[in-house]
Structure 1
Amino acid sequence: MTQDSFDDGSDEDDVPEWVDRIKANVAGEVRRRRKEMGWSAQELAERCKELGHPIPRNVIANMESGRRANLPLVDVMVLAAALETYPVCLIFPVGYVEKTQELPFQHLVPTWEALRRFTGEEDVPGYDVGLVPDFELHASLVRTAIAALEEEERARFATKAATSRAEKEEAERQRVKYADQAVSAKYRLRHLRRDLREEGATPPDLPPALGDVDPSEPDTDTIPEERL
């Protein structure tokens, strides 16, 4: 009996396991993607081995045919990398599986919606998103600061290359504008990174151009003059 029958009110015991549906999603998408790339199961197995996590050809064949009993997460991760796609695209094959389940005994939902909730792109009331929004903001501020610094440098060059007073003044106005944008983004980054550390988290690495965002560490080997 199919999951559609469960949606119509049939007995739960007649419904295929949710696990089987997820495994079928992955198996079908692995097979589709493998054939799209023109690979045999053996070639896919060899690629998985190259990535450092061997998955034998017979295991891949059994998975694709539905005979494999389990499907470890690590296998999904390596298969996705081998097939040059994302793990979530194997679990929720948007466009190839119309509807799927997110949890056992739940009604079928559009695969696209399930994927968006799985990745956190769609908010679920009451769910804790952790520090994901903070890291997204961090990435946005880094892009803003880098772009502003690049534009400031172009404006500085334009100021030097100006052939008239008007051109020079306009270029200088642009330079100041972008310099202010860079300072503002760096200021917000500094405070965001401080808040992340106070949460016990490690902020992302900064590009060299933003090396002045974090306050410099005090030199513990230097004795303050007043104590000499």
Structure 2
Amino acid sequence: MTQHGVDADEDDVPEWADRIKGNVAGEVRRRRKEMGWSAQDLADQCEQLGHPIPRNVIANMESGRRANLPLVDVMVLAAALETYPVCLIFPVGYVERTQELPFQDLVPTRDALRRFTGEQEVPMHDAGLVPDFELHARLVRTALAALDEEERARFAARTAANRVQQEEAEKKRTRYADEAISAQYDLRHLRREIREEGATPPDLPPALGDVDLPEPDTDTTPEDRL
């Protein structure tokens, strides 16, 4: 069945859903054979992961006879095959062009994957809190690196052979301390914004445990706090 809006020189283009299922089926089969597994081996691995997918279901999927392909199956198949679900849906390098939605033109599979994962921004699309969590990870790395360098500079100042070396080490320690404080300050405000969105911010490493200010004790009276 030919879809509207698809490259005109391609005849009998399958429905979008069939194309996506075909991507998954082809990549499952390729990856399974690459690992030297039979369909039963893959079925056994899925069962070990807690979501059984019988051998005949896998065989029907790979041959195109399976009518549906639940997302949970794709997730477990990917884990069993030691890959990522998105790599089954958009197998870069093994499928040159694919569709992202029904009636859309074929696009390079790599482009489809990047938009699917949010790596490539799409105008007017809401990325949720993903950018905030990515910023959070960067700030954590910056703060930890600065704290580590500050400690190195402190040690260098203590063990300096002369006053010039000591002063240079102290300058570095102060600079890294400022960087750590700045990153922790930004982290504190970012975590507050995440909470205001009704979400839970990521866990902090022990070295940054003082980023979150203690919650006020609402069970005490003003007299108790005196």
Q: TM-score range by the shorter chain?
A: over 0.9
Correspondence list, 1:1-228, <5 A: 6-8=6-8, 15-225=13-223
Rounded to whole Å, the distance in 1 between the matches of 2:4 and 2:102 is 14
Rounded to whole Å, the distance in 2 between the matches of 1:187 and 1:177 is 15
When residues 48 and 227 of structure 1 are mapped into structure 2, their CA distance, relative to the original with a 3 A threshold, is closer
Structure 1 residue matching 2:100: 3-state secondary structure: coil
When residues 205 and 52 of structure 1 are mapped into structure 2, their CA distance, relative to the original with a 3 A threshold, is same
Higher relative helix content:
1
When residues 222 and 163 of structure 1 are mapped into structure 2, their CA distance, relative to the original with a 3 A threshold, is farther
Q: Which runs of 5+ in 2 are unaligned?
A: none
Amino acid at match of 2:81: L
Cα offset, 1:9, TM superposition = 7.3
State the TM-score, normalized to the length of structure 1: 0.91
Cα offset, 1:150, TM superposition = 1.1
Cα offset, 1:122, TM superposition = 1.1
| Matched-pair contact (CA < 8 Å) for 1:31–1:64 | yes
**Residues 20-60 of structure 1: CA distance to partner in whole angstroms, max 9, x if unpaired?**
10000001111111111122211111111111111111111
When residues 163 and 32 of structure 1 are mapped into structure 2, their CA distance, relative to the original with a 3 A threshold, is same
Rounded to whole Å, the distance in 1 between the matches of 2:215 and 2:100 is 47
| Matched-pair contact (CA < 8 Å) for 1:3–1:108 | no
Cα offset, 1:161, TM superposition = 2.0
Cα offset, 1:127, TM superposition = 1.2
Q: Percent identity?
A: 79
- Number of equivalent positions: 226
| Matched-pair contact (CA < 8 Å) for 2:6–2:106 | no
**Residues 67-95 of structure 1: CA distance to partner in whole angstroms, max 9, x if unpaired?**
11110000000111111111001000001
Cα offset, 1:10, TM superposition = 8.0
| Matched-pair contact (CA < 8 Å) for 1:4–1:108 | no
Structure 1 residue matching 2:215: 3-state secondary structure: coil
Structure 2 residue matching 1:7: 3-state secondary structure: coil
Q: Which runs of 5+ in 1 are unaligned?
A: none
State the TM-score, normalized to the length of structure 2: 0.92
> What is the Cα-based RMSD across aligned positions, in Å?
2.2
